[in-house]
Amino acid sequence: MILSTRFVQLPLVSSLFTRACVANALPTDTEPHRLGAPSQFGPQNAERTSEFPTFTGQLNPYPDKPRITFREDGSFKLTIFSDVHFGENPWDSWGPVQDINTNALMQSLLDIEEPDYVVINGDLITGENTFRENSTSLIDEIVRPLNAVKVPFSSTSGNHDTHINITRAEEIAREISISPLSYTRFSPPGVGGVGGPANYWVPVYEKTTDSAPALVLWFFDSRGGVYADGSQMPDWVDSTVAKWITSETETMSDIWGDPELRSAVAFVHIPPHAIQAVQDILDSSVNPGLNADQLGQGSTQASDDPASLGQDNAFWKSLNSRVVNLRAVISGHDHGNEWCARDPTYNVIFCFNKHSGYGGYSSSGWGRGVRSLRFRSAMPDDGIESYIMFENGTTHASVVLDADY
């Protein structure tokens, strides 16, 4: 795949942001970094102060990586793997075979789809089956097909990515260290709560010379899993992320201008709890695709413990109220679902991924594959073609995500 026409190097961002979000350092649980400096961009925000790193100059969190752009024909394709679940039962012969098969699936679908960007949307590893001494080496296997074709990519973490012998922070650090085109990064200090280290965004530009992106990809950490002491981790995006979304979108408007001129897509492994009610109003003619997992306890955010219901509301409200032109929110986690539908609460489109891995639970007839998104153009009101592609190259459940969907 020739990618040189799609991205170029960019100038540096402020050293303050670089210090706050150094990707190769593991995050620590600290209080938010308070700068107290007023924004330099826009008189309407002159009195605003920020708890998070303040950008000066060009808003670019990737000063040393290529700029992601749409193709010369105006299109842009995202391919999303999810729930690959490497590392299951390494002591049995079938465990490593699963990983070999998943790698083959990834290689095949990358060749067929030729995406401009790839997302791995959580549950990279089945953490409960890992050994402390070699758990992060599984990341090498997962990213090998992506590194081989030199495609830029990002990942989110899932509930199986943190367990007694592995943490998502360790996985992320390993991914970044061995993948020149990984755009995964750690949250600023104070964002994400304990165990939710990666909440971030990636800009995508229409042309290499543009001063502002046409598309912003948002990535959120829904946590879940087990701490090193065996206790359960909260299974929702932490409320600190809501305030961070507000801060980031205000800064984007200050520096990039009118938010109506760009669009966004969000990725989070565990579906927001509001999506549970959407399943009850599905119409197979409008919402095609597998619908085999009944959403209930443990299948959406803040649902594992009834006492936690509503804990993801701050995140969900902030995402939908602050991110303008949010075209879709995409989750994995529930391997038996692959539909898209509109959530009437915020009038936002939600889509499930396709279960990609040979690891993780499955059932006869479900199949494995990816969800792809094809942007027809960089225009915020133009439709996005989305479909499920099976590992044999066949597609189904095709929809157009637009204002009429």
pLDDT value for 51? 62
Strands 384-390 vs 395-401: parallel, antiparallel or unpaired:
antiparallel
Q: Is 39 or 342 the better-scoring residue by pLDDT?
A: 342
Above 80 in pLDDT, residue 26? no
Pairing label, strands 369-375, 348-352: unpaired
Residue 134: band (very low, low, confident or very high) from pLDDT cuts 50, 70, 90:
confident
Q: List pLDDT tens digits, range 171-226.
A: 999 999 999 999 999 999 999 999 999 999 999 999 999 999 999 999 999 999 99
- The model's confidence at residue 135, banded by pLDDT at 50, 70 and 90, is confident
| pTM of the predicted protein model | 0.87
What angle is formed at CA 235 by the lines to CA 229 and CA 237, rounded to 5 degrees?
A: 120
Model confidence over 281-318: pLDDT tens digits?
Answer: 999 999 999 999 999 999 999 999 999 999 999 999 99
Supply the pLDDT for residue 22: 33
Checking if the pLDDT of 50 tops 50, the result is no
Higher pLDDT, 198 or 38: 198
What local confidence, expressed as pLDDT, does residue 58 receive? 72
Q: What is the DSSP letter of 265?
A: E
| Half-sphere exposure in the Cβ direction for 403 (13 Å, CA) | 6
Using the predicted structure, report yes or no on whether residue 161 has a pLDDT greater than 80: yes
Mean pLDDT of the chain: 89
CA angle 213-217-218, nearest 5°?
Answer: 130
Mean pLDDT of 32-52: 33
Span 327-363, pLDDT tens digits:
999 999 999 999 999 999 999 999 999 999 999 999 9
At residue 53, the pLDDT reads 56
Q: What is the tens place of the pLDDT at every residue in 91-100? A: 999 999 999 9
Token digits of residue 135: 């758990």
With bands split at pLDDT 50, 70 and 90, how would you rate the model's confidence at 133? confident
Question: Which pLDDT does position 5 carry in this prediction?
Answer: 35
Q: Above 70 in pLDDT, residue 54?
A: no
Higher-pLDDT residue of 342, 21: 342
Question: What pLDDT, in 10s, does the model give residues 101-127?
Answer: 999 999 999 999 999 999 999 999 999
- Kindly list the domain boundaries of the chain, sorted by start residue: 67-401
Tell me the pLDDT tens digit for each residue of 216-271.
Answer: 999 999 999 999 999 999 999 999 999 999 999 999 999 999 999 999 999 999 99
47 pLDDT above the threshold of 60: no
- Asked whether the predicted pLDDT for residue 14 surpasses 70, the reply is no
pLDDT at 27 over 60: no
Q: Which CATH class is domain 67-401?
A: alpha beta
For the chain, the 3-state helix, strand and coil shares in percent, each to the nearest 5, are 25, 20, 55
Q: Which residues contact 315 (CB under 8 A, 6 or more apart)?
A: 220, 236, 237, 238, 239, 241, 242, 245, 272
Contact 54, 16 (CB under 8 A): yes
